Amino acid sequence: MKKTGAQILCESLIKEGVEVIFGILGGAVLPIYDTFPQYPQLRHILVRHEQGAAHAADGYARATHKVGVCIATSGPGATNLVTGIANAYMDSSPVVAITGQVARPFIGKDAFQEADITGIMLPITKHNYLVSSAGELASTVKEAFHIAQTGRLGPVLIDIPRDVQQEEAEFVYPDKVDLPGYRFVSRGHSAQIKKAVKLINKAESPLIIAGRGITISQAYSELKELAEKAQIPVVTTLLGISSFPGNHILNLGMLGMHGTAYANLAVQNADLIIAIGMRFDDRATANTKGFAPYAHIIHIDIDPAEIGKNVPADVPIVGDVKNVLKAMNKEIDGKTHLEWLSQLDQWKYEHPSLEIGQSDKLLPQYVIRQIYEATQGDAIVVTGVGQNQMWAAQHFVYTKPNSLISAGGLGTMGFELPGAMGAKVGCPEETVWCIAGDGGFQMTIQELATITQENIAIKIAIINNGYLGMVRQWQELFYEHRYVDTKLWNPDFVKIAEAYDIPGIRVKHREEVIPAIYKAMDYPGAFLIDFVVEPEENVYPIVPPGESLTKILEPPRPEVLGKGAKY
Ligand SMILES: Cc1ncc(C[n+]2csc(CCOP(=O)(O)OP(=O)(O)O)c2C)c(N)n1
Ligand SMILES: [Mg+2]
């Protein structure tokens, strides 16, 4: 039976198991929207800015391990998706973006709302399509979903001219894809695995660096088995947080620019690094010249392009980390590494990096810690970018797999609100906390309307320091305290929330924190807390930009100094 391109698209999405689409309509996607009522199984969530649609699809994808879908009209609708798609690309998040394009006869004529979106998105998508006939749509959707969710995950764009949406064609959904040029390796090479096992079995001070690849391939138990069997301590990248229990004795926390001192010291003193599903991002490695000077490096990643890109690997293993770890674990000897672990304990004692100082002031770290205490880790935390993100990474204890969602690679302010929205839509049973910066929150603040219209019951904690805090911190530490344009005049966020029909309260004092958090959690719908925190609090430890991981600046407050900590 013949169907229109728009119907073929909807039926194909249903075949792929899609339940939710985030988007905004416009002329070039009207035929698609016009068919939505025929497919009530597809829930469309009307956002207020296309950037929000892309971030929501990304948050949904990360929280559910499914593909997130967003849709926008041609021209400005499509270009508004760009930041969100780039964000998904940098963090290997499987998103399929659908855009309307001007009708085929108008392409290349600078038609109204025409933009070469496949050209624009070429470097920020894993693949993209400009669909030239309705007959191609079904196989295009099949391919797009296959590419987005296999190998190294990532976003795929399908650009569909308006007249293709209206054209009729036979609908047959293919069983398989035919992509001879698209290959990925999921099983690691056995000889490489043997080499790695040999190194692990003879290492004296081994260290695991766990990245987002663990979460993507859901290799939590395999990672735990490796760490526990051979007593190997684990440090995580920002996106690797929650791939290994935050309260595990072998977990040293995050490495890198804002990593714990002991995680960074572990990297710099290890004789073997087992880097798993991570890409040696510069925020994790600091200056690569001085990175892990004594270590052999085993690098396990599904993407061969990552091997040797930033840090050379002695034993590269290309494959899905779950499969590779399974194979490796069979051959690993039980070990205790007593000397190494006691050295690490010593560093922990000397550098208590994450102790929160005793203070009458409202410290942002305390706020995050109390959200952890109230939830006991049973929540998904979605952060903004900057200080709030680092405090959320440091002071919440992520005991549950995949419980931190954050814009790591692109560092996109404004991700927090729509990202949290997407996570909550995907996981309605979960408590979702949006930890927002007062700056970042205002970049996608309009999504409060979506939250109310669609009843998305997220809890929003604004870490309101009245500054573009992380940049102010850099001005303080590296630009001799010259605060140029980082101070923010802010609106009354509680009144803003109320205007969007979301209850909110302001918290200015320490003793108000816990009751406010419980009030938010007890409320059945969305709730906002404006935490007016100490404005010039800094994120510590910090490795200054350009330095190597051993140059660790720790907090200069006497009350949090550990014995023997040096500055
Ligand atoms: C879209 C975007 N623009 C600019 C930046 C640069 N930047 C990084 S952190 C930061 C400050 C963020 O301020 P806020 O959201 O209030 O968070 P805070 O650091 O104060 O917690 C800025 C401007 C960015 N990361 N993203
Ligand atoms: Mg701020």
Residue whose CA is at the smallest distance from ligand 1 atom 12: 468
Q: Which residues line ligand 1 (CB under 6 A)?
A: 384-388, 411-414, 437-440, 463, 465, 467-471
Instruction: Enumerate the β-bridge partners of residue 315.
Output: 298
Q: What SS3 string covers 28-41? A: HHHHHHHHHHHCCC
The stretch 363-388 carries a mean pLDDT of 98
Q: Mind listing the pLDDT tens digit for each residue in 223-232?
A: 999 999 999 9
Distances (CA, A) of 267 to 145, 333, 395, 409: 38, 22, 21, 21
What local confidence, expressed as pLDDT, does residue 565 receive?
32
What local confidence, expressed as pLDDT, does residue 1 receive?
84
The stretch 61-73 carries a mean pLDDT of 98
What local confidence, expressed as pLDDT, does residue 357 receive?
75
Residue 558 has pLDDT above 80, yes or no: no
Q: Mind listing the pLDDT tens digit for each residue in 13-39?
A: 999 999 999 999 999 999 999 999 999
Residue whose CA is at the smallest distance from ligand 1 atom 13: 468
Q: Mind listing the pLDDT tens digit for each residue in 356-368?
A: 877 889 999 999 9
What local confidence, expressed as pLDDT, does residue 564 receive?
35
The stretch 61-86 carries a mean pLDDT of 98
The span from the CA of 344 to the CA of 355, in Å, is 17
The stretch 386-401 carries a mean pLDDT of 98
Dist. CA 229 → ligand 2 center (Å): 42
The stretch 542-554 carries a mean pLDDT of 94
Identify which has the larger pLDDT, 296 or 566.
296
The span from the CA of 234 to the CA of 239, in Å, is 14
Predicted confidence band of residue 554 (pLDDT cuts 50, 70, 90):
confident
Count Cβ atoms within 10 A of the Cβ of residue 399 and give its class: 0-12 exposed, 13-18 middle, 19 or more buried: middle
What is the number of the ligand 1 atom nearest to the C-alpha of 412? 26
Predicted confidence band of residue 557 (pLDDT cuts 50, 70, 90):
low
Q: Mind listing the pLDDT tens digit for each residue in 498-547?
A: 999 999 999 999 999 999 999 999 999 999 999 999 999 999 999 999 99
The span from the CA of 359 to the CA of 364, in Å, is 11
For residues 451 and 458, is the Cβ–Cβ distance under 8 A? yes
Dist. CA 468 → ligand 1 center (Å): 5
Residue 563 has pLDDT above 60, yes or no: no
Count Cβ atoms within 10 A of the Cβ of residue 17 and give its class: 0-12 exposed, 13-18 middle, 19 or more buried: exposed
Residue 410 has pLDDT above 50, yes or no: yes
- Report yes or no on whether pTM surpasses 0.95: yes
- The number of beta carbons lying within 10 Å of the beta carbon of residue 4 is 21
Identify which has the larger pLDDT, 354 or 161.
161
Q: Mind listing the pLDDT tens digit for each residue in 162-202?
A: 999 999 999 999 999 999 999 999 999 999 999 999 999 99
In a mutational test of the pocket of ligand 1, which residue from 413, 463, 532 has the highest number of ligand atoms less than 8 Å from its CB?
A: 413
What local confidence, expressed as pLDDT, does residue 353 receive?
85
Residue 562 has pLDDT above 50, yes or no: no
Dist. CA 245 → ligand 2 center (Å): 29
Distances (CA, A) of 59 to 10, 65, 66, 163, 423: 22, 10, 10, 31, 5
